Structure 1
Amino acid sequence: MERIYASYWLETGDDPARAAEVIAGEQSSGTFVALPTETPELKERSGARVERLDILGHSKQPSLPGGMPSQRYTQCELEISWPLENLGPSLPNLMATIAGNLFELRQVSGLRLTGLRLPPAFARAYQGPAFGIAGTRRLSGVTHGPLIGTIIKPSVGLSVDETVQQVRELVSGGVDFIKDDELQADGARCPFDERVRGVMRVINEHAERTGKKVMMAFNLTGDLDQMRRRHDLVLAEGGTCVMASLNSIGLIGLQELRRHAQLPIHAHRAGWGYLTRCPQLGWDYAPWQMLWRLAGADHMHVNGLRNKFSEPDDSVIAAARSVLSPVMPDAPLSAMPVFSSGQTGLQAADTYRAIGCADLIHTAGGGIFGHPQGVSAGVEALRESWVAAMEGVPLERHAERHPALQAALGFWK
């Protein structure tokens, strides 16, 4: 029988083995009292199993409030499995199974989903990314190195004409990728339809002159009909990417967008902090991103090294590696990690060294727009920082032969 396996960090004030069984029961055939209808045969067939329970340590205080009072709290590594036939290969029901009511149990004073293994049925049921790394490189024309990208800044407040002018400067400066901020949607000052038509006019004219079509990820986040219509407008205007905020549209929203889309889907993780920032609660990125890649995300945000947020570098690198790893052995479902949030060329070498490749999008907003010599120099400086990284040349030495990079070192620091 095919099974689903999920791993957790668990803290409990109860006996750990009993708490593990409560979790397994709550998330499958059991409830808070024994029922005659939960026969041994039914439980054997449909009940979740505790596959592994390893004690890590103890503490006197619980990590989370509202749990079972205790004199001692035990931290464990827990693995639970479920028969696939309980839910079928369904991502929404998978989420309810592995990350549902178990977080609320009074036996639990801390719980974090750390790993996930899925049977091949999920890869057969879901399309996964339509473009991934290879398709993104083909559409952007970037065959080597990262896509050098940026975000329209300020995030909101610009008019359509002001946005178009910013895009004009960026494409003239040689950028590979531009994206709307996740806060830029369809407001009165910068309506989606007008923004797409104006921006694509600039991108298409530049492509006709130079042969290079810059990839622009337009934020189409909305209800299903809105997203389909907005996607079709981007496609009709010659665009090569759309963007959606995952936690806003949900798994079904992404799945339906994937079924409809003929363009890469740039998946933004806005809201990720409320799922992960407490170390004793929520999700690790690796299992979380698996669901979204199965549903169809082509690009996945992973934050960035030395970022402007609270996430440490080791977590960022683990996230990027998970996006670059196969979802399961026979289903790679290639997706491209997106580094962002306070990025400059100073992170290029460490990023390249940590993940061992340049199959990524590196976006810098202020790191490009703030260059003292202008946007073109900002793009050139970020690109040359990656040339140095991939060639193993110290950044300062490489900058001696590249004035734009030399000037950038002063303001990046």
Structure 2
Amino acid sequence: MIIEDEVIIARYYMETPKSLEKITRNAASEQSTGLGTRSGFETGGLIETYGAKVVSVDSTEIGDLNKGIVEIAYPIKNFGPIIPMLLTTVAGNLFELAEIKNVKLLDLDIPPAYLSEFKGPKFGASGTRKTLGVFDRPLLGCVIKPCVGLEPETFAQAAYEASVGGVDFIKDDELISNPAYSPIEVRTSATMEALDRAEEETGEKTLYAVNVTDEVANIMGNAESAISNGATCLMINVIVTGFSALRMLAEDQSIKVPIHCHRDMFAAFARSPAHGISSQVVSKLARLCGADHLHAGSIDGKLFEDNDTVIKSSETMRRQWGEIKPTLPVSSGGQNPCTVEHNFELLGNDFLILAGSGIFGHKDGATSGAKAMRQALNLAISGTALKDCPVEDKELKTAIRQWQPSLDK
């Protein structure tokens, strides 16, 4: 008997040369009571209480390689509200079983009782908007480019130029954290001074997300250093540091700024349609552990996920989910002023679009690149097509000639 509030149901795609039903039963046993040959200690009562149970097996192809979607219910009492143990259970040894050719963890159905064990994002989408004072449009951000090599003063100047152009948000690239040539405390102090100058000129606030990714023992120290030097947001590379590192940051009462999550290395296990872990699962776990913002892929960008997958991940981050606040989806990777319109059409109002080269690669510099992004966003909101860009939006006109010359009149 399966009591829904006491289990997490994992949905998988599987391929095996053997019986799909039998292999699913084997996987359920492997990931719970775990004995291929039953021992005297593995009583019927123990199996009933702690054993994972097959919920469904839906064969989609039968032949030399049997394929299908299967569901397994795992008792929460086996792992509790501990994400490493949850992942060990739903994505552990079954991925190594020789009799399974491919397996992909597609989704997790998490009951309300389990959700209640987590605090989720402190700020989320609404809290980030409140911090910025921007409520009526998508948020616009940039990644400082080049990714690495800029000393703090030059980095700060780049941030200033983007900020006066109209971005709401600036982040470190995932490739820079605390290198000797740009220590967190020096880079943060210089950048926040530059952003304060920009705010005095424009009257608009720009958040700066400082990347605190490090060995786990150093992450809190990096966060404290960033915040003490004025950081208005933190960033963590959530896959390489782990969901527990994110949760540690998010649930610490001294952290009073949003946390921006980059998912680099994600594609190493997500890219194959037949094997690995899906973006849906990553989106849920990051939100559960406190991601205020999370990369969802890239609409019309350079990344591998198609637009439908980006939309699905974004919906997962934003939908009602118990008391867990919505996470702000981020569309990033190959964005420029000419992709803003379609991003807005597909993702709506509640997302953050990030551009790197699409701002810093603008022919007339970063300020013009940021202005072009803002102008493109204003056009999209007004319902005016990019091809009808008015002549007074000269920065956007230049961007169109640069990135989509077929639209230039």
TM-score, normalization by structure 1: 0.92
Q: Does 1:252 align with 2:244?
A: yes
1:400, distance to aligned residue in structure 2 (A): 4.2
User: Which residue among 281, 298, 306 is the counterpart of 1:304?
Assistant: 298
Q: 1:398 and 2:380 equivalent?
A: no
**1:342-353 to 2 correspondence within 5 Å?**
342-353=334-345
Deviation, structure 1 residue 311: 2.6
Deviation at residue 354 of structure 1 after TM alignment: 2.0
* Structure 1 unaligned residues grouped into runs of 5+: 60-71
Q: Provide the residue aligned with 2:165 in structure 1.
A: 173
Q: Deviations over 1:311-364 (max 9, x none)?
A: 3222222222222223x3x23421001111110122223222223x22111111
**1:94-149 C-alpha deviation (Å, 9 max, x unpaired):** 11111111111122111111111112233222110000011111112222212111
State how far apart, in whole Å, the 1-side matches of 2:35 and 2:216 are: 36
Task: Name the SS of the counterpart of 1:52 in structure 2.
Answer: strand
Match of 1:26 in 2: 30
Deviations 1:226-282 (A, max 9, x none): 322222233233321010001221122111111222111100101011111121111
Q: Distance in 1 between matches of 2:399 and 2:343?
A: 18
1:69 paired residue number: none
Tell me, yes or no, if structure 1 residue 14 matches structure 2 residue 5.
no
| Residue 382 of structure 1: aligned partner | 373
State the alpha-carbon separation in 1 of the partners of residues 390 and 226 from structure 2.
38
Q: Is the 2:164–2:202 Cα contact (8 Å) retained in structure 1? A: no
Distance in 1 (CA, whole Å) between partners of 2:380 and 2:94 is 44
- Considering only aligned residues, what root-mean-square deviation do their CA atoms show, in Å? 1.7
How many Å separate the matches in 2 of 1:89 and 1:181? 31
Q: Distance in 2 between matches of 1:35 and 1:397?
A: 74
Aligned to 1:108, the other structure's residue is in SS state coil
The corresponding residue for 1:62 is none
What per-residue deviation string (whole Å, max 9, x for no partner) do you get for residues 68-104 of structure 1? xxxx111111011012222222222111111111111
Q: Could you tell me the percent identity over the aligned residues?
A: 33
Judge which range, 387-396 or 91-100, deviates more: 387-396
Contact 1:215-1:241 at 8 Å conserved across structures: yes
Residue number among 238, 255, 268 corresponding to 1:274 in the alignment: 268
Is the CA contact (8 Å cut-off) linking 1:52 and 1:78 kept in structure 2?
yes
Post-superposition CA distance 1:16-48 (Å, at most 9, x none):
111010010001113221222212221111111
Matched with 1:265 is 259
For residues 32 and 83 of structure 1, the distance between their equivalents in structure 2, rounded to whole angstroms, comes to 19
Unaligned runs of 5+ in 2: 405-409
Q: From the superposition, tell whether residues 225 and 399 of structure 1 become closer, same or farther in structure 2 (CA, over 3 Å).
A: farther
Q: C-alpha displacement at 1:401, in angstroms?
A: 4.7
Give a deviation string over 1:207-237, Cα, whole Å, max 9, x none: 3454422101111111345322222233233
Q: Which residue of 2 aligns with 1:55?
A: 59
Aligned to 1:124: 116
Distance between the aligned counterparts of 1:226 and 1:27, measured in 2?
Answer: 33
Paired with 2:34 and 2:163, the residues of 1 have a C-alpha distance of 59
SS in 2 for 1:331: coil
Q: Judging changes above 3 Å, is the alpha-carbon distance between structure 1 residues 399 and 227 closer, same or farther for their aligned structure 2 residues?
A: farther
